[in-house]
Chains A and B, each alone.
Chain A
C-alpha cells in the first residue's frame, strides 16, 4: 500500500510517498505551502508514475505548528482522503519529533506570546505518552532544568536556543524527518468516513481575539 504523507507544520513543506514502511519519494521545500504543496504532490506522484487513485492512505501532520500551514495541509489531506475514499492518519508534530530519540526526552516548540508546547516522553512506544500541553515558557523551562533524568531537550525550530543555552541536552530540529514521520504514521489511528471530515488541526490555544486581549 502506498501512503502520501504531508507535513506543513513548520518552515518546510514536506511531501513523502511511502510503500508500506519504505520511503520511495521525498519532496522538501522551504515555506509557502499554499503554492508548493500540491505541486510537490503532483511532481512526486508523476516521478513514481502513479496516479492519486493508486494511493491507499493519506497521512498528515495535524500540529501543533504553523496555524495557516496546518490549515492548508490538513484541508488538502482531508480532501484527498474524501475524494479518493481512503483512510487518513493524523500525526502529532511532537510525536514525530521524538521518534527515534532516546528517552526520557522533552519535546518543545514555540507557541508564541511567551508560551511553549511541550511533551515529556518516558516510553519507547507512543501508546502511553502523556498528553501534549501548552504553558508559559518559565513554567516549562523550570521543569526542564530540574528534570535531571531527561537525556534530551529537543526543540522543533530554534527560537529557544539562547534561552536554553548552557543546557548540554538541548538540540533543535528544523523539520520533521521522513523516517520519523513514517514510523509515527504507522502508530497513528486510521480515520475513515465522518472521522476524516471531522479532523481539525491541533490548536491548543484559542485565537488572540478569543482570549480577550483585544476588544
Chain B
C-alpha cells in the first residue's frame, strides 16, 4: 500500500511516500528556519505563507524521489490535529484535493501519533505492545503507554513548557539563533555539565509529570546576572538538567508500569546526550531502547504515512470534511495532555 504523507504542523513542509508502513521511498522536508530565524521563533502566519508557496514543489519532489505518480497512490495521509492551525490547514487542503482528484482514501493523523509511530516503522516485529513512548519536541513532552494501535495511556506530561521549547528559548537568550536544540548541543560539547547546579523540577515526585519553566527561568536569570559567563558551561549544565529530568521520569515510569521496551520520539530525540543517557539507564535496568532514524525525528511526512498505514486498518478513512485543530485529544481514549481550555 503506497501512502503519501503530508505534515505542515509547524515550520517544516514535509511530504513522503511510504510503502506498507515500513519502506520509506521518499521523505522530503523543506525547512523554513531562515524565514523565522530573525524573530527567534516560529511566526505562524509566515509559516502558513511558506507552506502555501512550497507545498506543490514538495509534493512533486516526494513523488519524483519515490519514482511514482499521483495515480499510483493508494491513500493520502495528513497531520490534521496538533500544531499551528494556520499551518495545518495548508497541508490538509492539499491532501483533500489529492484524495478527491485521485479518488483515494483520506487518512487524518494526529501529529503526535506520527511521532509515536516513527518507532514502529520497520520494527513492528520487534517492538511489541504495550511499550513506553517518551515523545519530546518543541510543542509537547509526553510519557505514554502505547497499549495497541491508536490506544494510549497518559503516564505524564509537562505542566508548562515543552522541553524543546525551553531549548529554543535558552538558545534565543544566548543569541544562538533558531532552532536552538542543535546549537546548544554543539556548544555543550565543550562545556562542563556540572558547572551550574540548575534545578530539576519535580524530579523526586513519583509520577510522570514534568515541569521545565522553572529551569528555563533559572537559566535565563543566570545569563542575565552574568552576561560574560561561559556559554559552553551554561549550555552543558542546562542540557544535563533536561536530560536528567527526562531520563529519570522515563525509567521510573517504565518500572512502575512494567514496560520492557522504551521508545524515544520527537525533535529532541535527536539530542545525542539524551539518547546516550537513556540508553545507559535502560541498560542498567534491562530495558530495550528504540529511537527512530534522524530523518524521522523532526516533523516529516514519512511518520504520518507510517502511522496512517497502521491506523487506517483500525479506523478506516476519514470524510473529506475532516476538521483541523491546533489541539485535539489523542487516540481512542481521547487523552488530554493540555489544559482543558485548549480543547475547544
Contacts and interface: CB of A to CB of B under 8 A. Distances in A.
Contacts of B39: 209
Contact of A82 (B43, B59, B90, B92): B59
A78 interface: yes
Given A34-B324, A68-B86, A71-B89, A209 B97 contact: no
A68 B89 contact: yes
Interface stretch (A102-110, A148-156, A169-177, A196-204): A196-204
A201 B52 contact: yes
B45 A207 contact: yes
B36 to A, nearest CB: 9
Interface residues of A, number: 36
A76 B46 contact: no
A39 B90 contact: no
A189 interface: no
Given A72-B93, A75-B94, A83-B70, A42 B55 contact: no
Contacts of A127: none
Given A200-B53, A209-B46, A38 B98 contact: no
A52 B48 contact: no
A197 B70 CA distance: 15
A74 B90 CA distance: 9
B46 A210 contact: yes
Contacts of A125: none
Contacts of A209: 39, 43, 45-46
Interface residues of B, number: 34
Contacts of B56: 78-79, 82, 196-197
A207 B46 contact: yes
Interface of A: 34-39, 41-42, 51-53, 67-68, 71-80, 82-84, 196-198, 200-201, 203, 207-210
Contacts of B100: 38, 41-42, 52, 80
A67 B59 contact: no
Contacts of A196: 56
Given A36-B321, A67-B45, A71-B86, A83 B98 contact: yes
B335 to A, nearest CB: 24
Interface in B40-57: 43, 45-46, 48-49, 51-53, 55-57
A79 B324 contact: no
A207 B98 CA distance: 29
A89 B100 CA distance: 20
Given A38-B97, A68-B89, A75 B43 contact: no
10 contacts: A34-B93, A34-B324, A38-B93, A38-B97, A38-B320, A39-B320, A67-B48, A76-B93, A197-B60, A209-B43
4 closest A-B pairs by CB: A197-B56, A79-B97, A83-B101, A38-B96
Contacts of A197: 56-57, 60
Contacts of B103: 51-52
B323 interface: yes
B199 to A, nearest CB: 28
B176 interface: no
B93 A79 contact: yes
Contact of B89 (A34, A52, A84, A210): A34
B43 A207 contact: yes
Interface string B76-102: 000000000010011011101110111
B101 A80 contact: yes
A34 to B, nearest CB: 5
B48 A68 contact: yes
Select the residue from A39, A79, A197, A201 with max chain B CB neighbours within 10 A. A79
A126 to B, nearest CB: 25
